[in-house]
Structure 1
Amino acid sequence: MVGACGLDRLVGDPRWCLHPVVVMGWWIGTLRGLVEAIAGSRPWALRLGGCLITALLVATAGLAGLWIERFALGQPALGGPVLLVGLASALAGRSLDQAVHGVLNALPNLGLARERLAGIVGRDTADLGEAEILRALAETASENAVDGLFSPLFWMLLGAGLWSLNPSWPGPLALAWGFKAASTLDSMLGYRHGTLRWLGTAGARLDDLMVWLPCRLVAFSLPLALGRGFGNCFASLNLALADGASDPSPNAGVSQAAYAHGLGVQLGGVNSYRGATVLKPLLAPANAPANRATIAKILRINGRLQLIWLALAGLGAFMTKILR
Structure 2
Amino acid sequence: MRPPHQRFTWAGAAGLLGGAVLDRLVPDPRRGHPVALFGASAARLERALHADSRPRGAAFTALAVLPVAALGALAQARTRGAGRAALTAAATWAVLGGAMLGREAEGVAAALEAGDLDEARRRLPRLCGRDPRVLDEKGIARAAVESVAENTSDAVVAPLLWGGLLGVPGLLAYRAANTLDAMVGHRSPRYARFGWAAARLDDVLNWAPARLTAALTALAAPAAGGSARAALRVAVRDGHRHPSPNAGRCEAAFAGALGLRLGGRNVYGTRVEHRPELGEGRRPEPGDIRRAVRLARAVNGLAALTAAACAALVPGTRAPLGAGSAR
* 1:126 equivalenced with 2:133 (yes/no): yes
CA RMSD of aligned residues (A): 2.5
- 2:215 equivalent in structure 1: 220
* 1:14 equivalenced with 2:21 (yes/no): no
* Matching residue's letter, 2:255: A
Q: 2:118 & 2:217 partners in 1: Cα distance?
A: 34
* Matching residue's letter, 2:204: L
Q: Is the 8 A contact 2:165 2:310 kept in 1?
A: no
Q: TM-score, normalised by structure 1?
A: 0.84
**Structure 1 position 276, deviation (Å):** 2.2
The structure 2 residue matched to 1:209, chosen from 204, 214, 218, is 204
Give 1:171-320 correspondences, 5 Å limit: 172-227=167-222, 236-237=231-232, 239-284=234-279, 286-312=280-306
The C-alpha deviation readout for 1:295-321, integer Å capped at 9, x for no partner, is 212212222223223445556777787
Q: Is the 8 A contact 1:216 1:237 kept in 2?
A: no
**Structure 1 position 227, deviation (Å):** 3.8
- 2:10 equivalent in structure 1: none
Q: Is the 8 A contact 1:220 1:234 kept in 2?
A: no
| Residues 52/322 of structure 1: CA separation in 2 closer, same or farther (3 Å cut) | closer
Q: Is the 8 A contact 2:164 2:309 kept in 1?
A: no
* Matching residue's letter, 1:27: S
The C-alpha deviation readout for 1:252-292, integer Å capped at 9, x for no partner, is 112101110111111111111222221111111x3111123
- 2:103 equivalent in structure 1: 98
Q: Is the 8 A contact 1:12 1:93 kept in 2?
A: no
Q: 1:322 & 1:227 partners in 2: Cα distance?
A: 33
Q: 1:14 & 1:239 partners in 2: Cα distance?
A: 38
Q: 1:13 & 1:319 partners in 2: Cα distance?
A: 31
Q: TM-score, normalised by structure 2?
A: 0.83
Q: Is the 8 A contact 1:179 1:210 kept in 2?
A: yes
**Structure 1 position 48, deviation (Å):** 1.2
* 1:30 equivalenced with 2:62 (yes/no): no
Q: Is the 8 A contact 1:72 1:83 kept in 2?
A: no
Q: 1:323 & 1:246 partners in 2: Cα distance?
A: 40
* Matching residue's letter, 1:203: A
Q: Is the 8 A contact 2:106 2:289 kept in 1?
A: no
* Matching residue's letter, 1:13: D
* Matching residue's letter, 2:183: M
Q: 2:56 & 2:234 partners in 1: Cα distance?
A: 39
* Matching residue's letter, 1:255: C
Q: 1:152 & 1:318 partners in 2: Cα distance?
A: 16
Percentage identity across paired residues of the two chains: 34
* Matching residue's letter, 1:21: V
Q: Is the 8 A contact 1:221 1:233 kept in 2?
A: no
**Structure 1 position 238, deviation (Å):** 5.4
| Residues 142/82 of structure 1: CA separation in 2 closer, same or farther (3 Å cut) | same
Q: Is the 8 A contact 1:155 1:175 kept in 2?
A: yes
Count of aligned pairs: 298
Gaps of 5+ in 2: 1-15, 320-327
The C-alpha deviation readout for 1:169-216, integer Å capped at 9, x for no partner, is xxx111011001110011010111112001111001000110011101
Q: 2:230 & 2:139 partners in 1: Cα distance?
A: 29
* Matching residue's letter, 1:275: T
* Matching residue's letter, 1:26: A
Pick 1 or 2: higher relative contact order, CA cutoff 8 A, min separation 6: 2
* Matching residue's letter, 1:8: D
